[in-house]
Structure 1
Amino acid sequence: MKGSNKSSAFFIFIVLLGSICGSLIGDLLGSNIKVLSFLKNVYFIGMNKPLVLDLKVISLSFAINFNINLMSIIGIIVAIILYRKF
């Protein structure tokens, strides 16, 4: 069976790499081609302020933010397809 020895960490790495590449391509195309300027629209998902846990000895901050655009979603889909194929 194809891909039976692949780890889930490698899958997450490939998906993140596809997202970054897709976002970069979307920014480049949106900046240079006026008709494709909608590719630069970014949708924010996450926390506005981080959650802070102050224990007087150590202070911990928790936050997660996602900036998603159309090309990053396409990059994720292409990365998943390539992961399953190879």
Structure 2
Amino acid sequence: MGKNRGLFILVIFIGAILGNFIGDFIGNKFQSLEVLKNVYNIGLTTPLHLNLKVLEITFGVNFNFNIMSIFGVILAIILYRKY
């Protein structure tokens, strides 16, 4: 795939964000398609806090996605490979 990996990750994030916005928009406009705006969470519900008295570190990762954001990621990967 001789393309830049950073650009690939950026395209995936943009696809996920646009898919999420589209899912929210369609879910709000049409009551029958409300399932498109259901959000699924993956990650830590509360951040992990590590206190070493000299240094405090807080870790936290949470991914929120809906069905349309998954379609956005798939479409972004297809378009990235094609172009």
Gaps of 5+ in 1: none
Q: Please give the secondary structure, in 1, of the residue aligned with 2:63.
A: strand
Identity over the aligned pairs, expressed in percent? 49
Q: Please give the secondary structure, in 2, of the residue aligned with 1:31.
A: helix
Runs ≥4 in structure 1, deviation > 2 angstroms? none
TM-score (ref. length: structure 1): 0.90
Q: Give 1:62's aligned amino acid.
A: F
Match of 2:57 in 1: 60
Question: What is the aligned-residue RMSD (CA, Å)?
Answer: 1.0
Match of 1:45 in 2: 42
**In 2: Cα distance, 1:9 partner to 1:55 partner:** 34
1:17 correspondence with 2:36: no
TM-score (ref. length: structure 2): 0.93
Q: Please give the secondary structure, in 2, of the residue aligned with 1:25.
A: helix
Gaps of 5+ in 2: none
Q: Give 1:15's aligned amino acid.
A: I
Alignment size in residue pairs: 83
Q: Render the CA deviation track for 1:35-79: whole Å, top value 9, x for unaligned.
A: 111101111111111111112233110011011110000000000
